[in-house]
Amino acid sequence: MDDKRIIDLYWARDEAAIRETSFKYGRLCAYIVKNILASHEDCEECLNDTYLAVWNAIPEQRPSRFSAFVSKIARNLALKKYEYVTAAKRNPKAVLSLEELGDCVSGTESVESELENRRIESAIEDFLWQQSDEKRNVFIRRYWYFDSVESICKNTGFSQSKVKSMLFEMRRKLKEHLKGEGIDL
């Protein structure tokens, strides 16, 4: 079923929308969630929470890219669940990804405002669209999907040193780009 029809089901408050969303995007959401959360039970709970959050959000919005809308909700819920569940424990893959990116995008308390968050989002999006497809895909796999360097190598055919240097260089360039946009780091 195409995305427009699924969204129409949500607007009609037809519970088949959840089944269709799960069928079409369940694997994508599960992939994202499993890269963040270690526990199978937490993953299942997060996926169920994702479908509920989509159910509650759709009547107010008609997302233009439904796959991005659903996966963003899944990712954000998984990150919240991760923060809640692992106050002392850490998922090394997710922590490492976030620590690598932290030098580029962590900021001061002023970043808490929604307007500033949108400005940063826009600047990062602009930066990514200036990159080649392969660099952008490697960056997104690492920092959006939390793929390991090894997994990225397997999917792209690149060596570990190439992926690591590509990510290092992109983080450096992103930091410069954000500074050029007047975003305090």
Average of pLDDT values for 32-52? 92
* Cα–Cα dist 62/68, whole Å: 12
**Which pLDDT belongs to residue 121?**
83
Write down the pTM of the prediction: 0.67
**Which pLDDT belongs to residue 159?**
95
**Which pLDDT belongs to residue 134?**
94
Residue pLDDT, tens place only, 2-26: 999 999 999 999 999 999 999 999 9
Does residue 95 have a pLDDT over 80? no
Does residue 85 have a pLDDT over 90? no
Q: How confident is the model at residue 145 (pLDDT cuts 50, 70, 90)?
A: confident
Average of pLDDT values for 112-131? 82
**Which pLDDT belongs to residue 111?**
41
Q: Helix/strand/coil (H, E, C) string of the chain?
A: CCHHHHHHHHHCCCCHHHHHHHHHHHHHHHHHHHHHCCCHHHHHHHHHHHHHHHHHHHHHCCCCCHHHHHHHHHHHHHHHHHHHHCCCCCCHHHHHHHHHHHHHHCCCHHHHCHHHHHHHHHHHHHHHHCCCHHHHHHHHHHHCCCCCHHHHHHHHCCCHHHHHHHHHHHHHHHHHHHHHCCCCC
**Mean per-residue pLDDT over the chain, rounded:** 85
